Amino acid sequence: MPNSPSNDVDAPPVTEQPCRFPDDSVGLVTPQIHHFTNPLLLTCGQTLSEFTLIYETYGRLNADASNAILICHALSGHHHAAGFHDQNDKKPGWWDQYIGPGKPIDTNRFFVVSLNNLGGCHGSTGPTSINPDTGEPWGSGFPLLRVRDWVNSQARLADTLGIQCWAAVIGGSLGGMQAMRWSLEYPDRVRHCIVIASSMKLTAQNIAFNEAARSAITSDPEFFGGDYLKHHTYPKGGLSVARMIGHITYLSGDGMGNKFGRELKSGSFKQGDNEPVEFQIESYLRYQGANFSKSFDANTYILMTKALDYFDLSREYNDNPVTAFEQSTCNFLVISFSSDWRFSPERSREIVNALIAAKRPVSYAEIDSQYGHDAFLLPNERYQTVFSQYLNNIDIGTASKPKTGG
């Protein structure tokens, strides 16, 4: 197309411009909301009399609903996994790298469902929602959730969407814990379980980092025991530090060194200079922390990290993961990343070993990456290949109509 005439250069953008999204993007997406009015009994014994889940879908559900994939998000994730909410969005959803036409989770073949979990802060019922019994925000009163509560609420969402059995349930990190729990709680509703950079239970070190992060939040005087909304305050300092801790531990030491080294933000070291010197890594972390603290709820952060800590796949199976996985009937793909030290390859090998002992079909790939735990969100050729090939081999009864070739 020719350029616009010069007198149009400063004109506002035309509303009906042709879509500028890449060919392998799911494009514009609109979140949907479902309000559930049947009570949900939670693991803690409390009941949510009603609740809302916000979710997005990509691709098209086929006639026998055999091509549906559930995406389970991690600690700070949400429903917006792929595509754009607006023509002017600068960034797509958090897993856009892996969801779209021709991508590993190929929306030409699959119908993908991605939700914000219960207890979240992006539109699903959570601590910032109004407690119908009090007319006030839940705040500190929001019930403790466990991974199985998410799985149960996701099953409800599947019901409303007419999905009896997922072609695959997929998740990284805390999302992988949900995928594994699905395979045990609803064995007849999952055909494939894809567990990425996850663990059957956290290590003491992992719990310790989570506890330091929570302490940063709860010791912030603006936290008010979780009832900051009532006090019109917000523990942004504490949440920012919590995110900084998380951020450091989701990266690898080498990756961080390669990206930042000991570079200074500006200027140089001089003797005779009493100005505080600032390394790039410091301003980067502070920026990340401050940014996150503007968009995330502190109670949700605590709730999600607690769910992570509590998760123990085989607690109800005599602490025997083999007995646990014997409940499952699906196929498994397990993926880990070499430099991930919070969910190390050792943790994934434990999953694989338990699956083998339980005589379950399992594929395992340990991917070389310098990006630590974050690697599961980032481009990586081998990861993409393994992921694609596994999903391409999933049989879907009635093919959905592809919009474009894949």
Structure tokens at 162: 């007419």
CB of 282 to a second copy, least distance (A): 4
> Which of 143, 306, 281 minimizes the C-alpha distance to 217?
306
Q: Fill in the DSSP letter of residue 166.
A: B
Give the count of beta carbons closer than 10 Å to the beta carbon of residue 271: 4
Instruction: Choose the catalytic residue: 183, 252, 340, 400.
Output: 340
Q: How far apart are CA 114 and CA 72, in angstroms?
A: 7
Distance in Å, CB of 155 to a second copy, minimum:
17
Q: Can you read off the two tokens belonging to residue 216?
A: 């940063």
> Quick one: 161 exposed, middle or buried, by C-beta within 10 A (0-12, 13-18, 19+)?
middle
Whichever of 60 and 247 has its CB closer to a second copy, that residue is 247
Distance (Å, rounded) from C-alpha 40 to C-alpha 48? 5
- Least distance (Å) from a second copy to the CB of residue 339? 12
- DSSP state letter for 312: B
Is 243 assigned to a binding site? yes
Q: Which amino acid type is present at position 344?
A: S
Taking the CA atoms of residue 373, residue 378, residue 382 and residue 383 in that order, the dihedral angle to the nearest 10 degrees is 60
| Dihedral sign computed on CA atoms, order 232, 303, 169, 104 | positive
CA neighbours closer than 13 Å in the CB half-sphere of residue 286? 7
Is 66 labeled as catalytic in the residue annotation? no
Q: Which is nearer to a second copy, 197 or 245 (CB)?
A: 245
Whether 173 sits among the annotated catalytic residues: the reply is yes
- From 173, 328, 344, 369, the catalytic residue: 173
> Which is the catalytic residue, given 198, 293, 373, 400?
373
How, if at all, do strands 32-36 and 51-58 pair?
Answer: antiparallel
Neighbouring-strand partners of residue 170: 71, 194
Nearest to 52 by CA among 162, 131, 126: 126
Rounded to 10 degrees, the C-alpha dihedral 134/140/145/150 comes to 60
Residues forming the site for a second copy (CB under 8 A)? 43-46, 143-144, 201-205, 207-209, 211-212, 215-216, 219-222, 237-238, 240-241, 244-245, 248, 251, 253, 256-257, 259-262, 269, 271-274, 276-277, 279, 281-282, 285-286, 289, 306, 309-310, 312, 315-316, 341
Q: For helices 174-185 and 147-160, what crossing angle results, to 10°?
A: 70
Report, as residue numbers or ranges, the catalytic residues: 173, 340, 373
* Binding site, annotated residues for substrate: 243, 374
Binding residues, as ranges, are: 243, 374
